[in-house]
Amino acid sequence: MRAPAPHWLTASEASRAFAARTLSPVDLLTDLLARIEALQPKLHAFVRLDADAAMDAARAAERELAARRIRGPLHGIPVAVKDIIDVAGLPTTCHSRLLLDNVAAADAEVIARLRQAGAIILGKTATHEFAIGGPSFDLPFPPARNPWNPDHHPGGSSSGSGAGVAGGLFPAALGSDTGGSVRNPASCCGIVGLKPTYGLVSRRGVFPLSYTLDHVGPLVRSVADAALMLDAMAGHDPADPGSAPSPTRLFARELGRGVRDLRIGFVRHFHETDQPAHPEMTAALEDAARVLQAEGADLRTVTLPRLTEFGGVNRVILTSEAWSVHARWLRTRPGEYGRLSRQRLLPGAFIPAGDYVGAQRRRTQMIAAVEDTLREVDVLLCASSMDPASRIEDAAETARTYPRQARTPFNVTGHPALAMMAGLSRDGLPLSVQFVGRYFHDATVLRVAAAFERATGWNTRRPPIG
């Protein structure tokens, strides 16, 4: 079998190729830069490509490899970064006119950890403005597009990160997830997106959307790469008030164990009655359940609070906390926001304190409900998106389908959640599935996802672009 082109290598595969001396960091980056040059005009994944600095880092990584000095498990691997995360010397624009000149003085903690692991920072990727809103055409940069069909959106708000990983522009990227913004691009673009346990990955140096809902997570092309990235990113940061001390664990250690005798709870009501899914998405979810059962899992149907309740709680908390971040600019510079983000941020001014406190109280009850269920099962299986990605120019259909998802519940509760490809629609667009686990049992979520990946091979499918 012919070896895949370097740009289709996963981070894990590239690392092994470096070790075997069949590929060098400079060779990989050169191939990626050529692909970026060809596809950036179609996908708009980047808002800032830092090619010269990346090539300098690749040459340094190559010299270190020759001297048998390995910095870490991501040595020489290019990683792209959502443009709400600080990279020293580069603007953090949040895809907004308000921050076009906002040059970061220091790396975010997660960037510092990736560099310590040997990663090469390739540049900043497109996002929805301030990680809220949707695909917009009234911002300083064009919206990213879906590599499976550029007439469709790639999900968001980590849109450029998802499009670039799926399109072979880079093997790994960072995103943020407040209501599903890592898992939505993973679902729409047919890749793997992990929202780790709340507090497992530092958010210091990440522009906030909602202090108690924000997470940072990886977007990659394989479950093994999600584990590789999480190993580098995870760890307590005393300078992040939301960071949690957690037991040290190697997140890849359980990837090969399979699912035999694991208890998997299928949350069918999310996609059957709460928000009835597109028939092709329903079929993909049922297929996923059958695959895991065939692999030896004990599959059970479970019930959680309704999606409308989770969505309401998330909306009140997110909008209230986002208003506290943006109030000054919304009062003094409202015209500099794009229309969609302004529409989503302004209602925070009118949410009474009592409603915010009530939402936080209901959140505690919802956490207890999910915890009760996770005492009976090891992992949850449920929908991520209810529909394939809509056409990017169809604002009405995008507005209808974007909220039709089951990702928000696990921002409310903070449990680890992973979205990945589970099929292709008749129109050739990715379908998806989501796995959710207990707090700090991210390794178990990865274990189930890896078993599903091996059994189905969906991760080997590539979009037709390029």
Report in angstroms the alpha-carbon separations of 211 from 45, 199, 301. 26, 11, 33
Report in angstroms the alpha-carbon separations of 171 from 130, 165, 180, 319, 372. 24, 6, 21, 33, 37
Q: 25 with 120: CB under 8 angstroms? A: yes
What are 111's two structure tokens? 């960037």
Of 181, 210, 384, 432, the catalytic one is 181
Q: What one-character-per-residue DSSP string does 282-300 give?
A: HHHHHHHHHHHHHTT-EEE
Round to whole Å and give the CA distance between 22 and 332.
56
The answer for residues whose C-beta is within 8 angstroms of residue 203's C-beta and 6 or more apart is 108, 109, 110, 176, 214, 215, 216, 240, 242, 243
Active site residue 157: yes
Round to whole Å and give the CA distance between 348 and 320.
5
Round to whole Å and give the CA distance between 156 and 83.
13
Active site residue 324: no
Of 15, 24, 82, 384, the catalytic one is 82
H or E element in which residue 54 lies: helix 51-66
Report in angstroms the alpha-carbon separations of 19 from 16, 63, 66, 229. 5, 13, 10, 18
CB atoms within 10 A of CB 382: 25
Of 12, 96, 157, 384, the catalytic one is 157
Active site residue 124: no
Round to whole Å and give the CA distance between 388 and 402.
10
- Give catalytic residue positions: 82, 157, 181
